[in-house]
Amino acid sequence: MAGKERGNAAQYTTIKVRLCPTPAQSELFEKTFGCCRYLWNQMLSDERRFYLETGVHFIPTPAKYKNGAPFLKEVDNQALIQEHNRLSQAFRMFFKDPGTFHYPRFKRKKDDRDSFTACNHVFQSGPTIYTTRDGIRMTKAGIVKAKFSRRPQAWWKLKRVTISKTRTGKYYCSILYECGDRPPEAVIPKAETTVGLKYSVRHFWVTDGGETADPPRWLKQSGEKLAELQRKLSRMEPGSKNYQEAVRKYRLLHEHIANQRRDFLHKQSRRIANDWDAVCMRKDALQALNGVAGENLGYRMFRELLHYKLERQGKPLILLDRYTPTTRTCSACGHLREDVSYRDNLWTCPKCGAVHDREVNAARNIKDQGLTQYFQQQRASA
Ligand SMILES: [Zn+2]
């Protein structure tokens, strides 16, 4: 019962950061402040007029104003929606308790502080608002540089941001986080529940048990179709009607492939994160495969998705150091091969005679060495 109650009560915390926008970004902020004030006043006067005429309380949505005031289209729509929510809330409070809450007032530039609020929306492709090492990514402004005095915890959820400007012209951002959820209990990996993953150009990944991801054929086919369209484009007259039509087709296909790929990566990472308690990988696999098929399939995104999905369950992603020789080491006896030929997929250990599949052998070493590294670090930090 207590657990249930705790689960229902969301806890929030705010981090306030100083923003250092570019001139273009501060211009956009100014525009947004103005649009929000304008919209608030329009909605308020329309609600009053509507009430006098009909006796019904009604606030038109921001979309209703966009044709008459096209400049509203230039700013973050979320900020406008938030203005509508705030005005509705102000009316609700007033009707509920007119003694305590005053009737909503018009906003004036000289009395009201410049500010706007935008909510974060988390889509499959990721959140609309997030923090980076030294900035905050927002919908219309892109990444705005920011100075953090403290950092959010990994499990906090970013709910919304409020951008404001002081009288002295400084910009600040209040970031609201939901932090009620405790981090999940840390899972201690065991050899039986840990998997070693080796990146593979052919199979996307290979596990120490010999399982592979095998990217679906349609992904390759769409890639070929895209290349064909690209070749066609290069032969056409730029600016012609046919050219524009081909560009449109190209963009659509490009977007389609991006969606397919994202879907594939989500499925792959979910499968691994659910099946295993810990995952070992090599840190340098990304650099090594840059530019070839690996990049097309999105290894980087795969690793990020996997990390996030494991973290949510308290499971570790163990990254092996860059120069660990995993391909040349025999996973049966530890013998280190001298030759570094990457051509042969099967090789026989000259010392113990074990026959290895090159990638499965590497995945085994990644797992063994990953677990050793993990427990060494645990002992060191204990
Ligand atoms: Zn051996």
DSSP letter string, 223-238: HHHHHHHHHHHHHS-T
**Rounded percentage of the chain residues whose pLDDT exceeds 70:** 91
Distance 335 CA to ligand 1 centre (A): 5
- At 341 the pLDDT is 64
> For residue 235, which amino acid is it?
R
How far apart, in Å, are the Cα atoms of 326 and each of 197, 272, 323, 352? Answer: 11, 21, 9, 17
Residue 29, pLDDT score: 96
pLDDT at 80: 96
Distance 329 CA to ligand 1 centre (A): 8
The residues placing their C-beta within 5 Å of ligand 1, an ion, are: 330, 332-333, 335, 349, 351-352, 354
Predicted confidence at residue 287, as pLDDT, reads 55
Tens of pLDDT, residues 121-135: 988 778 899 998 889
Closest C-alpha among 40, 58, 29 to residue 111: 40
Rg over CA atoms, the chain: 28
Q: Distance from the CA of 283 to the center of ligand 1, in angstroms?
A: 25
CA 200 to ligand 1 center in whole angstroms: 22
pLDDT value at position 343? 67
Q: How far is the CA of 188 from the centre of ligand 1 (A)?
A: 29
* pLDDT(382) > 90: no
216-250 burial by CB neighbour count: b if 16+ within 10 A, else e? Answer: eeebeebbebeeebeeeeeeeeeeeeeeeebeeeb
> Token pair of 28, please?
């956009």
| Residue 114 pLDDT class (50, 70, 90 cuts) | very high
- Which whole-number Å values give the CA distances from 282 to 341, 344, 371, 374, 380, in the listed order? 19, 21, 12, 13, 21
How remote is the CA of residue 362 from the centroid of ligand 1, in Å? 13
Report whether pLDDT(1) > 80: no
Predicted confidence at residue 109, as pLDDT, reads 84
pLDDT score, position 283 = 80
pLDDT band at 56 (very low <50, low <70, confident <90, very high): confident
Q: How far is the CA of 326 from the centre of ligand 1 (A)?
A: 13
What is the enclosing helix (H) or strand (E) of 14?
strand 12-20
Among 108, 39, 115, 122, which Cα is nearest to 73's? 39
What was the pLDDT predicted at 24?
96
| Look-up of token digits 């273009």 | 24
Strand order in the sheet with 194-200: 204-207, 194-200, 278-282, 317-320
pLDDT of residue 296: 53
Q: Is 348 helix (H, G, I), strand (E, B) or coil?
A: strand
In the reported structure, the alpha carbon of residue 361 is separated from the centroid of ligand 1 by a whole-number distance in angstroms of 11
C-alpha to C-alpha distances, 29 to 8, 166, 214, 276, nearest whole angstrom: 35, 13, 47, 46
CATH of domain 191-216+259-381: 3.30.420
337 C-alpha to ligand 1 centroid (Å): 9
pLDDT at residue 199 is higher than 90: no
Name the pairing type of β-strands 317-320 and 278-282: parallel
Amino acid at 286: L
Mean pLDDT, the chain, as a whole number?
86
CA 281 to ligand 1 center in whole angstroms? 22
Q: How far is the CA of 275 from the centre of ligand 1 (A)?
A: 29
Q: How far is the CA of 322 from the centre of ligand 1 (A)?
A: 23
Position 3 pLDDT exceeds 50: no
Position 4 pLDDT exceeds 60: no
CA atoms within 13 A on the CB side of 157: 15
Domain chopping of the chain, boundaries? 9-178, 191-216+259-381
- CA–centroid distance, 211 to ligand 1, in Å, is 22
Report for 2-16, 240-254, 296-310, 355-369: range of highest mean pLDDT: 355-369
Residue 255 vs residue 273, higher pLDDT? 273
**278-336 pLDDT tens trace:** 999 988 655 555 444 445 567 778 888 899 889 888 899 999 876 778 888 999 999 98
Please tell me the distance between residue 382's alpha carbon and the centre of ligand 1 in angstroms: 34
Ligand 1 centroid to 251 CA: how many Å? 51
What pLDDT was estimated at residue 286?
55
For residues 280 and 216, the model is more confident at 280
Q: Which helix (H) or strand (E) is 194 found in, with range?
A: strand 194-200
Least Cα distance to 18 among 114, 133, 135 occurs for 135
